[in-house]
Structure 1
């Protein structure tokens, strides 16, 4: 009986607890919804001074969801997020504002 309990406990532990230990950032952000809220707030700050805010927010959101980061400030600082910096449009120009 003790062996069966141990196996059952280990199985339940593996199913319920381990995923949260392996992916703490996803758990902290609340999954996809949390990332959406994070990106929206960071992109509002990033695009605050943009001439075409709708376009800036659209592309910033796309880049943020793929890279999971947005550089600080309204311009520059792309060294803080290399994925964001290196993403290119189909025309070979920087995609992220």
Structure 2
């Protein structure tokens, strides 16, 4: 009986940690959407600003998403 509860706790914890991956994906989409809206408002300045949002914010959010994914895997399979 206790083993089943421990397994359930692992899966619940992994699911909660996986929410971080979804939140990171939403953040990357938000950054890309705001960049696109700004580029459509001022197309002449868009070419010089293309790399900035991708490298700065996109990589940070991807890193946190990968970390949340790894934590969820550790919670599921470590023990």
Looking at both structures, which has the greater relative contact order when contacts are Cα pairs under 8 Å and sequence separation is at least 6? 2
- What TM-score range do you get, normalising by the shorter chain? 0.3 to 0.5
Higher helix share: 2
Q: TM-score, normalised by structure 1?
A: 0.41
